A and B are shown apart, each in its own frame.
Chain A
């Protein structure tokens, strides 16, 4: 098949010279890759990902009313594990609303803009977060513009009546959530996240933008 040794030699030498001039700043790129990976893990571009964090909250079981950000919290109502099982969802909210939450919880403007793009499965003009809770697992997905949900983290969880501790199956990240009923809905507050501040900002945006309602 190859019968021109001169051409072969020229191609090998030429490609090698060109490629070896490529010297990426590996250390800087590594840090950026880890930041992006953490953000995406929270939001669920990965099928094996991070849903753990999100779902925890959902377990309460109820059906929900939706609260807008800043609404005063209703009195805490005891939760049961059984009541949490099911699928919960936020309404479709404008990108600007998610972005505003990201900034409110401490993220910068540029990071907020970036977060509501690819990490959320976008770009899109609206997003809905869905939480699916079973006896043993929870999973989060994000629906950009009402389209097919993009699966997120998956993991196990422990529930003590008001708090959920979730450990994501693939990476071992651990997050703790405070749960409370909000009328028929479920309000979730992110208390801790062992995967760092980027994860924490992302999770707070996902969980604390609004309450979740029962789906279907």
Chain B
């Protein structure tokens, strides 16, 4: 990579990596794994930088790659393992985290986690959620609707358990 391109890539990386890693975390619920997957996406960006840098929104390109990799990776990983990791992380780092919500979100299918992260955390309109998920707006709305119902049900179950 030529000198100027390297500098531009480095500046972009520093500006965007953290934000992408945070969204990926909300799909994988495992910090180390999220960093690895985000890194894979940025290595792909490095390889395509001369082309992607000319795009109007290179951040959307790398975000889309990262989300795709994260969803694919999450499909491969058994959900029980993800929940166990989440519990270990919560135990190791007590803080203000809403662990019930985290458990409920981590139990969703990967595509639903991605939709929830993009809509609620990144605050994106449905058109952008759909674009980043690589589906139609209608399909993205259905995915998000199902996710939200599942979250509501699980959180309500948790509250009932607490009352008992």
Contacts and interface: CB of A to CB of B under 8 A. Distances in A.
B126 to A, nearest CB: 9
A37 B116 contact: no
Nearest to A13: B98
B57 interface: no
B101 A30 contact: no
Interface core residue of A21, A41, A49 (most chain B CB under 10 Å): A21
A164 to B, nearest CB: 20
Contact of B10 (A21, A30, A32): A30
Q: How large is the interface on A (under 10, 10 to 19, 20 to 34, 35 or more residues)?
A: 35 or more
A36 interface: yes
A15 B121 contact: yes
A11 interface: yes
A111 interface: no
B96 A17 contact: yes
Q: How large is the interface on B (under 10, 10 to 19, 20 to 34, 35 or more residues)?
A: 35 or more
Secondary structure at the A interface, as helix, strand, loop or mixed, is helix
Contacts of B145: 1
Given A15-B120, A24-B35, A170 B98 contact: no
Contact of A22 (B1, B34, B43): B34
A170 B51 contact: yes
A18 B102 contact: yes
A45 B18 CA distance: 25
B6 to A, nearest CB: 7
14 contacts: A7-B151, A8-B120, A10-B98, A11-B148, A14-B102, A15-B116, A18-B102, A19-B25, A26-B13, A27-B14, A30-B13, A33-B39, A38-B1, A170-B49
Given A15-B26, A33-B39, 17 more contacts: A7-B151, A11-B101, A12-B123, A16-B121, A17-B96, A19-B117, A24-B17, A26-B13, A30-B13, A33-B43, A37-B43, A37-B46, A37-B47, A38-B1, A46-B47, A170-B47, A195-B1
Interface of A: 1-2, 4, 7-8, 10-24, 26-27, 29-30, 32-34, 36-38, 40-41, 45-46, 48-49, 170-173, 195
